[in-house]
Amino acid sequence: MPITTQQLIRFKQEGRAIAALTVWDYALAQILDEAGVDLLLVGDSLGMAILGYDTTLPVTLDEMIHHAKAVRRGTRRALLVADLPFMTYQESVEQAFHSAGRLLKEAGVQAVKLEGGHPTAITTVARLVEAGIPVMGHVGLTPQSVHQLGYRQQGGSQEAGEKILSQAIALEQAGVFAIVLEHIPSDLACQITQKLMIPTIGIGAGPHCDGQVLVTSDVLGLSNRQPPFAKVYANLREAIAQAVGEYTAEVRARSFPDQPPF
């Protein structure tokens, strides 16, 4: 049975950890879905992992829809969530409705994720949820604010930690079904997780969250640079390079194909 937002909340109540990964195409979606991942996120991290941008900022709504449509065709069980890209929801609630509506209608995602816990974001979340659009929150390190925050850990001081906690509580009150906690201290993530009734999904936030998410290219060893909190479970970059190198050598040596196909 397909996983729903309400099931994720039940998973938290049952103490069942939630496994989430980013995804960007049909083939990968099939593999991750069949492997039992609970939540697939078409993250704007694809801008860096797949499209070659230096940050997530250049990613457009059309690019997100393009990739999310492909992922939708490969997903049967996992809950499918897509990021709202930079400047596709910040201008107004009406802009957020337009962007989220396109992702749900054209790409078939089941929910959207937006960054930040400031008052404007809280208002936007509340209006989207009121209209029946499931929303996932995201606090701590928010990559769309890279020019303001950088990529350093957030919430290290008491004041900064209390601010992130209050943002998380406000997002829950606004109606998000889950919240990503990115690159914050483990004890702060634990405190937030205990305070909230909705699941927390950590990335670089320690072991006490209700679930974990990573960028799949980091997990598979495809990235040039790994974030400090990622774990590499396979070195596909090396395996692909070796396989392609062998193929290229055989073609140049005229040993492939070894006999006519017919």
Question: If you count them, how many residues does the chain have?
Answer: 262
Which member of 162, 182, 238, 250 is catalytic?
A: 182
Which two structure tokens, joined as six digits, stand for 19? 């496994």
Helices 186-195 and 158-174: crossing angle in degrees, nearest 10, is: 30
SS3 breakdown of the chain: % helix, strand, coil, rounded to 5? 45, 15, 40
- Backbone φ and ψ for 40, nearest 5 degrees, come out as -105, 125
Residue in the block written with tokens 């490969």: 74
Q: How many CB atoms neighbour CB 68 within 10 A?
A: 29
- Within 8 A by CB and 6+ apart from 221, the residues are 232, 233, 234, 235, 236, 237, 238
d(CA 38, CA 52): 27
Which residue, among 170, 168, 261, 160, has the nearest Cα to 209 in the 3D structure? 168
SS3 label, residue 182: strand
Catalytic-residue membership of 172? no
Q: Which amino acid is at 240?
A: I
Q: Please give the helix or strand (H or E) that residue 137 lies within, else none.
A: strand 135-140
Which residues are part of the catalytic machinery?
182
